[in-house]
Each structure stands twice: as C-alpha cells, then as structure tokens.
Structure 1
Amino acid sequence: MLEIAVQDPDGARAAMAAGADRVELCTGLSTGGLTPSSGLVAAVVEAAGPGRVHVLVRPREGGFVYSSAEVGVMVRDVELLARGAANGSGVAGVVVGALLPGGALDVAATGRMVAAAGGLEVTFHRAIDVCPEPEALVDGLLELGIARVLTSGCASRSIDGISVIAALAARVGDRLEIQAGGGVRVEDIPALLDAGASAVHLSARRQEDAAGPSGPGGGTAAYDVTTPDIVTKAAAAVATYRNRQA
C-alpha cells in the first residue's frame, strides 16, 4: 500500500490521481502534523473519495507527552470523526498516539482514543520513533487492537532504520501493519518492503512561493504542495514490487 501525507484537497486529489492507495490528512506537516479542521476533512474526503482518508489527531507540536486536558481534546476530536464516519462522512481512520514521560506507550491515553474511534481504523503515528523500546510499544499496540504503526525505525530516515523496521515486522507478523515512513525516497521503497513493511508513507511535497506578500503574522513566504510526479514514481515502485511478489 502507498499512503501520501497531504494538507489540502488539491494534494489529496493529486495523490489519488497519481496512484496513491490512501492519504493521511493533517496540517502543519513541517512540524510533524497537526489536527485538521472539520471543514478541511470534509473537503479532502470529497477530493480523495470515501474510505481513502485517515485523519491525524495531534493537538500541538512539541513531543507526544500530553496533559489530561490535551488527551481530552484528542478524544473529543476522534469521537467527532467517528460520529461523522457513522453518518457517512467517508473518513476511514484516525492516526493517534501518546507517550509517557519516559518514552513508553501511554496505554491509558491511547486506549481512550482507540475506544473513541469506534469502527474507524486506528494507526499509531511516529511517536514510536522516540520510544526507547519500540518492541515493547508494538506489543502494547497489539493489546489495544490498533491496526497499523507508522515508523522510521527510530531513525531520521526510514532507510537508516531498516533493521528496526525488519525486527518489528518479524515480531508482529500479520497482526499489525508496519508502515515505513520518514524521509522515504522512491528508490528506498523496494528495500523497505523487502524488510517486511507492508506499506510506505511519504509526503511527496515541494515548496511553492506564496502569491502575495507575507511577513509578520503571516508566516513564511512559502508553503508545501503535493508533487504528483513523486507520487506517480512511488506508486510505480509499489506496483512493481506487488507484481514481483505475485
């Protein structure tokens, strides 16, 4: 499977047209991703199609250890997404995660989000990559009934963490989908899949200059957009691998 991280309807539309299997929607990709608005979720589902959009729920940048109030916000966000999905919104899943101060899985907080998700598929995000014992963390994810974990193998780039990705894949077998993500290049995809990852995740983005003036209060003068050419090449690499395994 090929998942593309997107921030807007144009990105979702471009990713699906270029061959992505699904998209992860967030805002603030440059900060690791933040929870999108309900309006943005609806627009991206319309662009990508129902059953293709997984929504990141993360209230702020700055790590993955959250206060009880922050966990409450995330649980409410997940509940709203699950309620919308039950009413036909087309959202397929949520992407969540929380850690304890020492870096272990916050079972209580993550478990509340899993419960709130109802019938939505749950992915645990790259919080695993700052965990000192990722093997123990995936054991906890299995106990919580989580479907997928996104990981770079605890490295800056997934290709550099490929030995950890392989170890995690061997540990969980087909009980948990290991999705490799983090600095993925098209040429890395065959090796990551050979290591046992069953999906790859990349943002396929480039920076584009804003059309008008920017400055104080408006942030930087550039923003990220999805690059269809990269998605097309990534989709081709995944398709080639599938055919080779058939």
Structure 2
Amino acid sequence: MPQNIALELAVQDQAGVRVAGAVGADRVELAQALALGGLTPSPATLELAIAEAASVGVEVHVLVRPRAGGFHYDADELAVCELDVRRAVAAGADGVVIGALDAAGALDLEAMARLRDAAGSASVTLHRAIDVTADPIATLRAARALGLRRVLTSGGASEAIDGIDTLRELVAAAEGAIEIMAGSGVTAASARLLADTGVDALHFSAKRTVTQTGGVRMGSASDGVGGYETTDLATAQELVGALARGVSRVCASTQVATAH
C-alpha cells in the first residue's frame, strides 16, 4: 500500500463503522441514502455511530446534505445545513462534509464560509459538488482559500477511475496545502491505480444491495417495497487487500460494484 494514504469508508450506520474498524480504515463518512449520493444522517444514527467509532478507533465525518438533487440551496435549506453542522460537531463528530453552489454552478463562497464557521475547529471537507462545477481546479483553489481540510472528488467523472487525469491535475494544484481524496465507484480493481495518482486518501463504500419485492409501491422512486444498501465486510477487505498487495487489476467477475 502506498505510504501515508488514508482510507475513508462511506457508511450508513454503526454496523458500517464496525466494518471500517475491521479493515483498518482511518475514518468514515457517515450518511444515509447512499443510493441518492448520501444525505444527512439522523441524530440517533449519528450518536450510535460516534459511540461505535470510539470503540474501534476511527474518525467520524458527517455528511451534511439536506436533500437529493443539485447543490444550490435556498435560505431555508442553508439554515438546516448550518444547524446540522453545529449539531454533528456538538455530538462529537470529528468533521463534516459539505458543499454548496451558487446559481451559476460555482462554489457558493458565502454559504461555504457560513458552514465552515459553524463547524468551529472540526475538520471540513468539500464533497463532490466540486465534480459538477465547470472548473474543478478553480473550485479546489477556492476551497483552499476558505481553509478547508480536504476535497472529495472523482475528477469530474461518474467514477473516479474515469477522472484519473483530472485527479492528477488536482493533486498538483493542491500543492500539499489541501488534501485530495478520490472517491466514487472505487473498487479493488481501481484502488491502486487511483492511489498512484498521489491522492492523499481513497473514499469507498464497499456496499451491496439487499433487494426486496412487494406489490405495494412505497415511494415515487421505488419499484414495490424496494431494497436497501449495506456495508459489506468482504468487499471492503478485498479492496484493502488489493491495495496493500499493489494489485491494480483483479478478475472482474469477483468485483462488487460501488456507486458512492
């Protein structure tokens, strides 16, 4: 495994935190609804995850995102985000993961400063809102000027492996002053290649889908009862093992795809 590269596991509950501890991850990004790109977790989920993290020795960084869809928020939504940031830090989170864009699709500097300030001394990460901006390098520089700790990015692609050239450019532009964490669709097959770009961290979800069927539709986005996603220990172990061995390609038939 490349020296000094951190591992962050995207999880939705305390069971996912236990998986992170089992595979030696440095931290978790705690969210709910990873199938939607992740939303702010519930207070109970946060409390139980923080307690579990203390016992397994990982940090908890809380995603603050009030809804699915884009990242341009109105005054009500920003008020929710600010309060969620404050409450996450007060509950014991090590950091928060945030992102807000203006009406033109650029980083909303005023909103980001407001949320950064709400986090106090906790670590602040800019999430993949950067990947839908017109100029990720300019967005990175804005995040650096705001004093953020790191940026989670796929290099502007749906999956990080397809944004690998931009990831290299972001690493160079960061100049060691802000961390670059590669994430989205990271698997055992791509982990080493992404690590070799020089990023500071890898973000992965190692999740599997549990499907359920039923004749009563439970929501506009569901087909019947629907299913849910859960953190899978074996998938996480496979990725960490491949990274440690320096394996850049493994048999595709053994992979469990991740979308976050």
Q: TM-score when scaled to structure 1?
A: 0.90
Map 1:16-165 to 2 at 5 A.
Answer: 16-49=21-54, 52-85=59-92, 91-165=93-167
Query: 2:188·2:243 contact (CA, 8 Å) conserved in 1?
Result: no
Q: Check if 1:13 corresponds to 2:14.
A: no
For 1:214 and 1:193, how far apart are their aligned partners in 2?
A: 45
Give 2:253's aligned residue. none
Query: 2:183·2:203 contact (CA, 8 Å) conserved in 1?
Result: yes
Report the alpha carbon displacement of residue 240 of structure 1 after superposing the two structures with TM.
Answer: 4.3
Report the alpha carbon displacement of residue 214 of structure 1 after superposing the two structures with TM.
Answer: 7.3
C-alpha distance after superposition, 1:15-62 (max 9, x if no partner) = 221222211110111111100111100111122226511100000001
For 2:235 and 2:26, how far apart are their aligned partners in 1?
A: 14
For 1:136 and 1:240, how far apart are their aligned partners in 2?
A: 35
Map 1:185-196 to 2 at 5 A.
Answer: 185-196=187-198
* Equivalenced residues, count: 235
Q: TM-score when scaled to structure 2?
A: 0.85
Richer in helix (by share):
1
Of 10-19 and 128-137, the range deviating more from structure 2 = 10-19
For 2:17 and 2:194, how far apart are their aligned partners in 1?
A: 24
Give 2:217's aligned residue. 216
For 1:121 and 1:70, how far apart are their aligned partners in 2?
A: 22
C-alpha distance after superposition, 1:205-237 (max 9, x if no partner) = 111135x96733375432111111111122224
For 1:213 and 1:132, how far apart are their aligned partners in 2?
A: 42
Closer/same/farther in 2, CA of residues 163 and 32 from structure 1, 3 Å limit: same
For 1:76 and 1:222, how far apart are their aligned partners in 2?
A: 30
SS in 2 for 1:186: coil
Name the % identity. Answer: 43
CA RMSD of aligned residues (A): 1.7
Query: 1:104·1:131 contact (CA, 8 Å) conserved in 2?
Result: yes
Of 214-223 and 95-104, the range deviating more from structure 2 = 214-223
Query: 1:214·1:221 contact (CA, 8 Å) conserved in 2?
Result: no
Unaligned runs of 5+ in 1: 86-90, 242-246
Query: 1:64·1:97 contact (CA, 8 Å) conserved in 2?
Result: yes
Question: What amino acid is aligned across from residue 96 of structure 2 in structure 1?
Answer: V
